[in-house]
Structure formats: structure tokens, C-alpha cells
A and B are shown apart, each in its own frame.
Chain A
Amino acid sequence: MKRRAWLSWLWFAIGIVYFFLPLAATFLFSLKGKKGVLSFVAYEHVFADPQFLKTFGFSLEMAVFTVAAGLLLIVPTAIWIHLKVPKAKPLIEFFTLLPFVIPPIILAFGLIRSFSKPPLALVSSPVLLVVGYVIISFPYIYRSVDAGLRAMDLRGLSEAAQSLGSGWTRLIFSVVLPNLRTALLSAVFLTFAIVIGELTLAVLLAWPAFGPYMALMGRNLAYEPAALAILSFAMTWGAIGLIQLVTKSGKDKSSGIGVGAH
């Protein structure tokens, strides 16, 4: 086995180069905003652009609604399955993983076609965007919540709580949800990371979101897009880093696989 170790190092090194070279190049590029010197002037331009704050704020708002709606839908469903209808689990798992393989472009197309005329003419309302985002973030939210529910003895806890005389509300709010805290937090961070930079749905439903704004910058400017890329990478790192921090041990396998966001 020992004689192969250098090969392992080689592949590892190739991986590191492939991952970090573009990041290093982007960072260097982002510093070239002023001719001849390295400076953060491109970042200053980005932050000074009122459109930056406006679109970022819009996407942030959409992310908040997405997280709220997604959790409201998934958390009760997941708890209900674990407690009452374990038979439904494979079915729910299937439907929550489906968005991984439905390309966002297909989802956007279908949503526009289905909701552009009465009875449900939602196409010009941000509700449709949020609904699409909830679908896209299904796999992340469900997997986090499910992992959290598996990690606790939900049945035992609920029996204990109920035999001590607590009702349903009490059980959910003082027993289950506090135990789900880390799972919920990782679902929230992942959803934020995905929604804020999302392009496809935002472009096709014509909303002034952060993703389309970045794409527009890329068409017109040279150094500011690089700065935006670095900022956005830092945000993803931040979100994933926070998840690692709250889940602490590496036992939780629910860290996100980014299928479908491309």
C-alpha cells in the first residue's frame, strides 16, 4: 500500500489546483480594478452600486419567505411521518428528492405555463418565485429535518411527554423543535445559500434578483464581476461553515449536494 501513497498525493494535489486556481485567479482579477496597482476598488464599486443592495435585499427577502414556507410545509410533514405514518416515508423521500433531477429550467417553464392564466394567475406575483424556490430547496430541507428526527428518539420522547400529560402543542414546541434546532439551522443556511444566488427561476420569471443582477454585471463590466464572485463564494463558505459549526461532529451526512443549482 505504501508505494501507492505518492499517487494519492498527486491526485489530491491536482484536485487542490483545480479547485483553488480559479479562486485565486478570480481574487487577483478582482483586485485589478485600478490600473497598475492592486486595490479593492472593484469591491468599493460593488458596494456603492444601489442596484447591488436592492437586488441583494430582494433575494434576501425571497430567501426568508422560502425558508418560512419550506419549513412550515416540511417540518410538520416529517414529524407526522415519523410518528404516525412511517409507511409514507419512501413516497415522501421520493418527492422531496425529485427536484434534484428536475432541471430548474423545466420547473420554471412548467410553472409559467400552469399559472399564467386563471384560476391561478400567479405569474406576475412573487408568490410563484417563492413557490419555485421551495420546490428547489425541498431536498435540502427534508434531508436536514429527517436526519435531525432520526438522531432523536422521537417515539420515545413523544411517549414520555404524553405520559407526563403534555398535549400535542407542548410536545412539538417544547420537546421536538428544541431537539431539531441544529437540523433546522442547517436547512436554513443551505436554503439561503441556494436562493440568494439563484439565476434560472429569477431570470425566467423576470424578477430583479441578485442572480440576474450578477449576470448583467458580467456582461457590462470586467473587475466587478470577479469581486461579486469572491463575495458570493465567501457567502457559500460562510453558510456551509456555519452548518459545520452547528452540527459540530462530522456524523451528519446531510451537508448539501448542489445538484440543480447550476
Chain B
Amino acid sequence: MTALDERNDPDPADKSPPDPMGHVPRAARRKEGLAWLGLLPFFVFVFLFMLLPVASIFTGSFQDASGAFTLKNFEHLFRPNILNSYLVTIRVSATTAVLGGALGFLIAYAISLGGLPRPLRSFMSTFAGVASNFAGVPLAFAFIATLGRMGLVTVLLRSFFGIDLYDKGFNLYSFWGLVFTYTYFQIPLMILIILPALDGMKKEWREASENLGASSLQYWLHVGIPVLLPSLLAALILLFGNAFGAYATAYALTGGLINLVPILIGAQIRGNVLHDANLGYTLALGMVIIMTFSIALYSWLQRISSRWVK
């Protein structure tokens, strides 16, 4: 919290003469209660169009087609193809989170503490802002043009090095293709998230440990990693959730033909594959549960890391 916040903090009520007993005068308290009413439009909107819809998925997954209570939908979650879609989605999300996270971290380190010229940093962080927004359909097209059967890299590798990616089992529309494509928006996202944490690493810590005779390895082991770890884990969770919920990129890349949870849910909504409406809710609920768990873990880690990073 900054000084700016503190200036905003005192209540308007504070301007009335203080009660000798230290109580907030009742009139002032009522005034504050009325002031909350000013937020009513916002809360009504949020309730109607965000909380209610998500809650309705929750209730829907406990109902059968006629609306009666049932737990049967959860049995369907363990059908082999559904279980498999969760496993594939988790594998794609975890792989891209780790890959994008590692590359993003190294690039962020290079431009913040790695001694690169200053303009490179602002160029890279601006570009990361753009690239993290370059997702969905156009991103899928870009990777088709790069790694598709007729893509630039595929053709170059084939004609100059005699390596045929597709003969070697690579396919843009399968696991590794998705991983490479998702990593494109994961790297810049990681750069944007982790830069503030790296900026919080004080030069003095490094100098102090060097003066005390610590090697670079010891510095990282005892200072660098412990300080950065909560932010790193929090960032990885965010990247994981980001990939887990991704629909547009996968849809445009594979035409909805890959067994990912968001794609299955989408097919369910569009009503062209599964005809069991309530199974859709259960699929979605599984996703909501994983997301909720990630958010909880994320905010817990954020609280820890805020001790170091201001």
C-alpha cells in the first residue's frame, strides 16, 4: 500500500468532531452505510451476470435432465474419455506453464538484472504486453503458417536439413503443437508477471552475500530462490489456469477436434456431440473446482511473496 492509498483512506465521517469516548458517531455510521448503496449497480451487475451464471453451473451439475437432485453426473466424470480429456488438458497446461514460465523467467531476468541495455528492457516489456494479447484465432493461424504442414519452419527444415517434422511424428494439431502454440502467450505473460518480483530483488542482498564470501550458487540457494519462490509458484499457477481455460486457440487450431476439457464443454453447449446436458455442467464444474483451487493457492502464495516484493 502506498502513501496515495493512505491519503484516500480516512472516512468522510472523520471530519465530524471526534466522540469523546472514541466511538464513531451514529449519524456518521449511517452515512457510511448509505454510501455503500452507491455501489449497488455494480454489485447487482456482478451478481446477475457473473456470480449467478457460475453458481448455476454448480447447481446444474447436481441435477438430472428433469431437474431432480442426483449425483450421477459425477460418475460420468470417471468415464475413460472424460477422464482422459482432463488428463490431456492438465498435461498441456502444466507443460506450457513450466516451459513458458522457465523461458519467460530467463528473459525477464536477462532484461532486469542480466545487465542488458535499458532500451531492450522497455522494448521487451512493451512487446510482451502486445504478445500476451495476441492469442486465440490469429495465434492459431500464425502457428499454422510456421509449423503446419506447409509452414515456414517445416518447409525450411525439410528442404535445407532433410528433416521432416511430420514424418518424425510431430503434428501441430496434437499435444506438442498445442504446447508450442500456447507457449507463445505464456512466455510474455510470465515476463509481465515476474518482472516486478525481479525488480524487488535488491542489489544490496547480492553485494552483502558476496562481501560475506558467498558464491553465486550459495546466493541463489539461500537468498535468491527463497525470496523468489512464492512469486514463481504463484506465476506458474496463473499460467496453468490460463492454459487450462483456453478455448479460442485450441478451437481455431484443431477445429474443435482435440480432446480438451474446454473443447468438450464447447461441443456440449453447441449440442453437436454429447446430448447429456447435465454432463456438460459436471464437466464445467470440474473445471470450476480446479480453477477455484488454483486461485486459493495463488492468493496464499501472493500473500507470502508480498513480504518481499512491494
- Among B110, B122, B126, B137: residue with most chain A CB under 10 A: B137
Among residues of A, the one whose C-beta sits closest to the C-beta of B54 is A110
Measured between beta carbons, the chain A residues less than 8 angstroms from B153 are 21, 25
Contacting residues, chain A, for B4 (C-beta < 8 A): 150
Stretch at the interface among A33-41, A57-65, A79-87: A79-87
Q: Is the CB–CB distance between A114 and B251 below 8 Å? A: no
A203 CB–B CB distance under 8 Å: yes
Whether A77 contacts B109 by the Cβ 8 Å rule is no
In this complex, which of A19, A74, A200, A262 has the most chain B Cβ atoms within 10 angstroms of its Cβ? A262
Residues of A152-166 contacting chain B, CB below 8 A: 153-155
B255 within 8 A of A: yes
**Does A68 sit at the interface, judged by CB under 8 A?**
no
Closest chain-B Cβ to A161's Cβ sits at a distance in Å of 15
**Residue in chain B with minimal CB distance to A197:** B136
Judged by a CB distance under 8 angstroms, whether B224 is at the interface is no
Q: When A92-B39, A105-B245 are in contact, do A25 and B107 touch as well, CB less than 8 Å?
A: no
Give bound CA distance, A204 to B295, whole Å: 25
- What is the distance, in angstroms, from A28's C-beta to the closest C-beta of chain B? 6
Contact partners of A101 in chain B: CB under 8 A: 241, 245, 291, 294-295
The yes or no answer to B274 lying at the interface (CB within 8 A) is: no
B41 pairs with A200, CB closer than 8 A: no
For chain A, the count of residues having a C-beta within 8 Å of the partner chain is 96
Cβ contact of B107, chosen from A15, A226, A258, cutoff 8 A: A15
Cβ–Cβ contact B185 & A82, under 8 A: no
Closest to B120 in A: A12
Verify if A173 is at the interface (C-beta below 8 Å from B).
no
Q: Is B163 an interface residue (CB 8 A)?
A: no
Indicate whether A250 reaches chain B with its CB closer than 8 angstroms: yes
Residues of A within 8 A of B115 (CB): 1-2, 4-5, 8
Return chain A residues, CB-CB under 8 Å to B188.
Answer: 19
Residues of B within 8 A of A257 (CB): 129, 132, 189, 192-193
B116 touches A199 (CB 8 A): no
Residue among B2, B48, B183 facing the most chain A CB atoms (10 A cut-off): B48
Listed stretches B7-15, B17-25, B71-79, B80-88; interface member: B7-15
Contacts of A18 in B (CB 8 A): 103, 183-184, 187
Contacting residue for A7 out of B114, B143, B151, B266, CB 8 A: B114
Interface membership of A148, Cβ < 8 A: no
| B161 in contact (CB, < 8 A) | no
Given the interface pairs A86-B9, A112-B269, A259-B238, the reply to whether A26 lies near B38 with Cβ below 8 Å is: no
Are A215 and B130 interface neighbours, CB within 8 A? no
Q: In angstroms, how far is the closest chain B Cβ from the Cβ of A43?
A: 14
Interface string of B107-136 (1 = CB under 8 A from A): 101110011100010101011011111111
Shortest Cβ gap from B299 to chain A (Å): 9
Asked if B160 is an interface residue, CB under 8 A from chain A, the answer is no
Query: For the complex, what is the distance from the CA of A226 to the CA of B151, rounded to whole Å?
Result: 11
- Is A19 in contact with B142, judged by CB distance below 8 angstroms? no
Could you say which of B114, B124, B140 has the most chain A C-beta atoms within 10 Å of its C-beta?
B114
- Tell me the nearest residue of chain A to B195, going by C-beta: A253
Is B270 interfacial (CB 8 A cutoff)? yes
Closest B-chain residue to A153, C-beta based?
B7
Q: Is B280 part of the binding interface, using a Cβ–Cβ cutoff of 8 Å?
A: yes
* B248 and A11 contact, CB distance less than 8 A: no
Contact with B along A39-79 (1 / 0, CB 8 A): 00000000000000000000000000000000001101100
In the complex, which residues of chain A have a beta carbon less than 8 angstroms from the beta carbon of B133? 193-194, 236, 240, 256, 258, 261
Q: Is the CB of B245 within 8 A of A260?
A: yes
Asked if A23 CB lies within 8 Å of chain B CBs, one says yes
Shortest Cβ distance from residue B226 to the other chain A in the assembled complex, whole angstroms:
21
Question: Which residue, A150, A155, A255, has most C-beta atoms of chain B within 10 A?
Answer: A255
- State whether A132 and B49 are in contact (beta carbons under 8 Å apart), knowing that A109-B280, A113-B60 are contacts in the complex: yes
* B232 → chain A closest CB, angstroms: 16
**Contact present for A103 and B287 (CB under 8 Å):** yes
Q: In the assembled complex, which residues on chain B have CB atoms less than 8 Å from the CB atom of A226?
A: 141-142, 144-145
A98 within 8 A of B: yes
Tell whether, in the assembled complex, residue B246 and residue A73 are in contact, meaning their CB atoms are under 8 Å apart.
no
Residues of B at the A interface (CB closer than 8 Å) are 2, 4-5, 7-9, 11-12, 32, 35-36, 38-39, 41-43, 45-46, 48-50, 52-57, 60, 103, 106-107, 109-111, 114-116, 120, 122, 124, 126-127, 129-146, 150-153, 182-185, 187-189, 192-193, 238, 241-249, 251-252, 255, 262, 265-266, 269-270, 280-281, 284, 287-288, 291, 294-295
Q: Told that A76-B38, A232-B134 touch, could you supply 4 new A-B pairs with CB distance under 8 A?
A: A109-B57, A226-B144, A229-B145, A233-B138
11 A-B contacts (beta carbon < 8 Å): A1-B115, A5-B115, A11-B107, A25-B146, A29-B152, A73-B41, A84-B35, A101-B291, A107-B50, A150-B5, A257-B193
Closest 8 pairs between A and B when the two form their complex, measured CB to CB: A110-B53, A103-B245, A8-B114, A25-B152, A8-B110, A29-B145, A258-B133, A229-B141
